[in-house]
């Protein structure tokens, strides 16, 4: 049974900081944000988790395999190396959206995202007994994105197509299944999902084709961690590529 452990990582009081004492150089903010994300990706990734940049000031991570001590260390280490701190909330649920609801609520209860009083809040419960179907990862990409878009359109028009496909998918997966889909670069979207059937994935792919006119395909894997589920999903996606199919399970 799916038991997805999700962590919300929220930079404390970031909005006000970016304009104090006056607006900071945008490229410094971009650098700081993306390096913080990269560090979290290394920390979480080396323990089997996945983290998504989401809005950069709020990042969402699948953290099955990381316990309380790991989270405390991550929080301390960020505080030692960055001009900002992060608050963390952790939730576990069969449905990823529910787990994030819990995680977010814990951070919100500790204070506003723009409160100067809240710093390094940390609350949550953890999933203890790992099982091989705890995490379900779906790795989507766009069919022949290079041939249809990247090599033909200007980059922004390519981006618009990918982006409209993503906007459609993220909403559908959230509403239909409580799955959370994240754009991860190129033409790739990775979703953390409950246990869904091939039929249900096919429904998502069809929905995006209809609504946004973007043809996706998807590989699906499960495992005790996001990394294990995700690697299986990547292999399944390679299968789609070789077989010419739209949905494959590992």
Does the protein bind its own copies through residue 81 (CB under 8 A)?
yes
Q: Binding to its own copies by residue 202, rule CB under 8 A?
A: no
Task: Tell me the three state secondary structure of residue 37.
Answer: helix
Are the C-beta atoms of residues 135 and 191 closer than 8 Å to each other? no
Pairing of strands 188-193, 4-11: unpaired
Q: What residues contact residue 5 under an 8 Å CB cut-off, 6+ apart?
A: 62, 63, 64, 66, 90, 91, 92, 99, 126, 127, 134
Distance from C-alpha of 18 to C-alpha of 63, rounded to nearest angstrom: 28
Task: Give φ, ψ of 94 to 5 degrees.
Answer: -65, -35
Q: Candidates 1, 21, 27, 128: give the one binding its own copies (CB under 8 A).
A: 27
Residue 250 lies near its own copies (rule: CB under 8 A): no
The smaller minimum CB distance to its own copies, of residues 199 and 244, is found at: 244
Here the tokens at position 97 are 């959206």
CA distance 84 to 119: 9
User: What are the DSSP E strand ranges found in the chain?
Assistant: 4-11, 50-52, 58-62, 86-93, 122-124, 135-142, 180-185, 188-193, 216-223, 247-249
* Contact status: 114 vs its own copies (CB under 8 A): yes
Q: Among all chains, which residue has been given the structure tokens 């799916």? A: 2
Cα–Cα distance between 211 and 77 in angstroms, integer?
A: 43
At its nearest, how many Å lie between its own copies and the CB of residue 73?
6
The one among 21, 80, 128, 199 contacting its own copies by CB under 8 A = 80
Distances (CA, A) of 222 to 11, 83, 95: 30, 37, 14
- The residue within the footprint of its own copies, chosen from 138, 162, 205, 247 (CB under 8 A), is 162
Report if residue 24 touches its own copies, rule: CB under 8 A: yes
Q: Which is nearer to its own copies, 199 or 234 (CB)?
A: 234
Q: Which of residues 119-158 bind its own copies (CB under 8 A)?
A: 146, 150-158
Q: How far is the CB of 33 from its own copies (least distance, A)?
A: 5
As measured in angstroms, the least distance from the Cβ of 21 to its own copies is 11
How many chain residues touch its own copies (CB under 8 A)? 87
Residue from 67, 94, 113, 120 touching its own copies (CB under 8 A): that is 113
Determine, following the binding rule CB under 8 A, whether residue 160 of this chain makes contact with its own copies.
yes
Selected from 86, 90, 97, 220, the binder of its own copies by CB under 8 A is 97
Residue 216 binds to its own copies (criterion: CB under 8 A): no
Tell me how far, at minimum, the Cβ of 37 lies from its own copies, in Å: 5
**In the complex, least distance from residue 57 CB atom to its own copies, rounded to whole angstroms:** 5
Q: Based on CB atoms, which residue is closest to its own copies, 108 or 215?
A: 108
């Amino acid at each position: 049974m799916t038991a997805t452990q999700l962590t919300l990582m929220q930079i404390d009081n970031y909005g006000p900081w970016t304009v104090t004492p006056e607006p900071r150089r945008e490229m410094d903010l971009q650098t700081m944000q993306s390096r913080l994300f990269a560090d979290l990706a290394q920390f979480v990734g080396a323990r089997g988790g996945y983290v998504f940049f989401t809005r950069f000031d709020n990042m969402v991570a699948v953290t099955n395999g990381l316990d309380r001590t790991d989270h405390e260390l991550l929080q301390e280490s960020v505080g030692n190396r960055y001009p900002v701190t992060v608050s963390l909330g952790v939730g576990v649920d069969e449905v990823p959206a529910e787990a994030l609801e819990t995680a977010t609520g814990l951070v919100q209860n500790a204070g506003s995202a723009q409160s100067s009083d809240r710093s390094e809040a940390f609350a949550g419960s953890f999933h203890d007994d790992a099982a091989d179907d705890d995490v379900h990862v779906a790795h989507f990409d766009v069919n022949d994105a290079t041939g249809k878009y990247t090599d033909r359109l200007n980059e922004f028009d390519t981006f618009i197509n990918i982006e409209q496909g993503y906007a459609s998918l993220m909403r559908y997966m959230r509403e239909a299944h409580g799955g959370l889909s994240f754009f991860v670069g190129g033409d790739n979207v990775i979703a953390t999902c409950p246990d869904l059937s091939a039929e249900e994935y096919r429904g998502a792919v069809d929905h995006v084709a209809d609504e946004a006119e973007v043809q996706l395909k998807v590989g699906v894997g499960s495992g005790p961690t996001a990394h294990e589920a995700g690697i299986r999903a990547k292999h399944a996606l390679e299968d789609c590529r070789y077989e010419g199919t739209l949905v494959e399970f590992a």
